[in-house]
Structure 1
Amino acid sequence: MNATPDILCIGSVLWDVIGRSENTMRQGSDMPGRITQLPGGVALNIGMALARFGLRPALLSAVGRDTDGDALIEACKVRGLLTEFIYRSDDLPTDKYMAVEGANGLIAAIADAHSLEAAGDKILRPLTDGSLPAPYAGAIALDGNLTVDLLGQMAQSPLLAAADLRVAPASPGKALRLSPFIQAKRGTLYVNLEEAGLLCQTAFANSSEAARALLARGAVRAVVTDGSNPATVGGAAGIVTQEPPQVHVTRVTGAGDTFMAAHIAAELNGHDAPKALAQALEAAALYVSGETTI
């Protein structure tokens, strides 16, 4: 091991293929724009942002032993991420995510994380083979691209009982995968307003209402965002709600990951709830405006 990680990022590590147009788009639109391929995936996006904030993240994920996988591992190393704990599969291809964005936001996206799901608990071997200390007592950023069964195991696992778990669903379609952490009363949940509604089986008018409902449902701590509307952090210490800075939005993919990473970094650096939330909202605003990268 080349260095001791400050935090583990567990989940999707893949290639992001993003098509962006400056025009407003709808279903069936055919517009000029730019298509980029960059390292991505929720766990990797969070890890890259954490590295930018001065931390040493280690990735636990599955990456194929193919050309795409080799290039992705090298790209992670260049960005300051520890990759020696990643499970490299001989028979599973490297995962990809594809999205189309217009001036009016995300139009559509497809996440192909089938290899990560197929790898299952193999990605956790560093916690059982002595590569990492166990029970693990540090911070962990975990995304919902893992299977429901594996997430359920992790919510109850003695290997993670002492960890500072930070959990995000990866997308609204995977929001219910966070239910085991509510039931186990483990971790800080990072969700948007829609995801909070899915977890609570209702709709919310704002992030404060959503955070309070998640806590009432059993969540230990919840961080709820709502785009350009106020975001809320709720837990045993109380409720904090703040307005995000208003900026011109040039991109949206990766904004939630940047917010989560900035919030984690701020809290690991000892900032209180209001200051940590303010720093996270500022970082996300800079990202969606195009002034910073993950």
Structure 2
Amino acid sequence: MTEREHQILAILKQNPLIAQQDLADRLGISRSAVAGHIMNLTHKGIIRGKGYILAESRYAVVVGGANMDILGRPLDTLQVGDSNPGSVTCSPGGVGRNIAENLARLGSQTRLLSAVGKDTYGQAIIDQCQQAGIDMQACLQLKDASTSTYLSVLDGDSDMHVAINDMAILDRLSVELLKAQEEMLRRADLLILDANLSAPALEYLLSNFSDRPIFVDTVSCAKAKKIQPFLSAIHTLKPNLKEAEQLSGISIANYGELPKLGHWFHEQGVQRIFLSLGADGVFYSDGQTQALIPAVDVPMVNANGAGDAFLAGLAHGWLQDWDIEQSTKFAMAAAVVALSHLATINPNMSEMSVNRVIKESIC
């Protein structure tokens, strides 16, 4: 779908009976343009019948953090302990939210279960998510808490130098509130969790929904520890090498030992593992098929968000019933698209743009 079709679909999900003129007014386009987009969505089978009845489709629920990202970028080499000339930008972020937006932009039906404050940042996050096509009906907006923020400073090579996160609001996503969304969670074709969730929330989700495929983003070494007792419930795990070594207690001397590391996770019950090796690529294994795919050498504008785009690519591949090799290459190409834009989410993210990277760069 095009960006405009995503926007129209998001509005129709909220109000299936909205008049075309009202749609046009909200989007700032003509009524005839809206009619054309509606016709295209009907031809694609996404809209069926009168009243904009939406076709039933497989959907993923992402449960995790939603932040406002504040990014500082120096004009030259970062001088620690000094004031650096540069630029500061704000954009919606958060691991769970980033995965959800990338997944929606790729064309998969996506719902986000998170918590934001009833403040300027929180409303901006909700608006951006809805414009991207994410179903936000399950997202909490709390009056007595502030939307979480993530402050990061890049170095002169556009890689993260240091970051501070204020994510206390996510602890408000309690087991009781998750239970209120049980029906939506059980009907999902895929659950995606990020380890920013509280330990009780992760325990509840991983203990009660293991009959669903669950994808987990480990986020960091410190936060990955929370999922260790529940590895058997995880279908797909995406750690980096350091996080995988910490979880397993296995240190590898070279990449030739990666299959040993993958085997340990399979013994714990993890069905698929994707080890991020940074500039060296990705190692994947599902217990039968395994490979190390080298990274694509591309200019990096902003490293923030590449891992989130990668997991979204894996999720999209799963919902499309692709095999593990095709899914991995697609996910790596999605990460390349993410790397090429200053914002955490590349607004040009789409299945078409990812396939273009695959065609040009990935064998």
Taking structure 2 as the reference length, the TM-score comes to 0.73
**Structure 2 counterpart SS, 1:85:** coil
2:199 is the alignment partner of 1:148: yes
CA gap of 1:63–1:125, structure 2 versus 1, over 3 A, is farther
- Tell me which of 35, 47, 55 is aligned to 2:100: 47
Shift in Å, 1:178:
2.1
Amino acid at match of 1:200: S
Please tell me whether Structure 1 or Structure 2 has the larger radius of gyration of its CA atoms: 2
The correspondence of residues 1-294 of structure 1 with structure 2, limited to 5 A, is 2=14, 6-25=59-78, 27-28=80-81, 30-104=83-157, 105-128=159-182, 130=183, 132=184, 135-157=186-208, 160-182=209-231, 184-204=232-252, 205-206=254-255, 208=259, 210-290=261-341, 292-293=346-347
Aligned-residue sequence identity (percent) comes to 26
Shift in Å, 1:30:
3.4
**Structure 1 counterpart SS, 2:174:** helix
Distance 2:65 2:189 in 1: 20
Distance 2:313 2:106 in 1: 7
Amino acid at match of 1:197: E
**Structure 2 counterpart SS, 1:228:** helix
Amino acid at match of 2:242: E
Distance 1:22 1:259 in 2: 28
Shift in Å, 1:227:
0.9
Gaps of 5+ in 1: none
Indicate if the aligned counterparts of 1:120 and 1:146 stay in contact, CA closer than 8 A. no
Q: String of CA shifts for 1:125-170, please: whole Å, max 9, x gaps.
A: 4423x5x2x633411111011111221222111xx23211110122
Q: String of CA shifts for 1:194-248, please: whole Å, max 9, x gaps.
A: 1112212343344555433433444332111111113112123331321121112
Distance 2:98 2:127 in 1: 15
Which sits farther off after the overlay, 85-94 or 7-16? Answer: 85-94
Indicate if the aligned counterparts of 1:51 and 1:79 stay in contact, CA closer than 8 A. yes
**Structure 2 counterpart SS, 1:150:** helix
Post-superposition, which runs of at least 4 consecutive aligned residues in structure 1 deviate over 6 A?
none
Shift in Å, 1:65:
1.8
Amino acid at match of 1:214: F
Higher share of residues assigned strand = 1
Shift in Å, 1:113:
1.2
**Structure 2 counterpart SS, 1:73:** helix
Q: String of CA shifts for 1:69-110, please: whole Å, max 9, x gaps.
A: 222211211121111101222212111111111233110111
Distance 1:7 1:267 in 2: 10
Higher share of residues assigned helix = 2
Gaps of 5+ in 2: 1-12, 15-53, 350-363
Amino acid at match of 1:110: I
Taking structure 1 as the reference length, the TM-score comes to 0.89
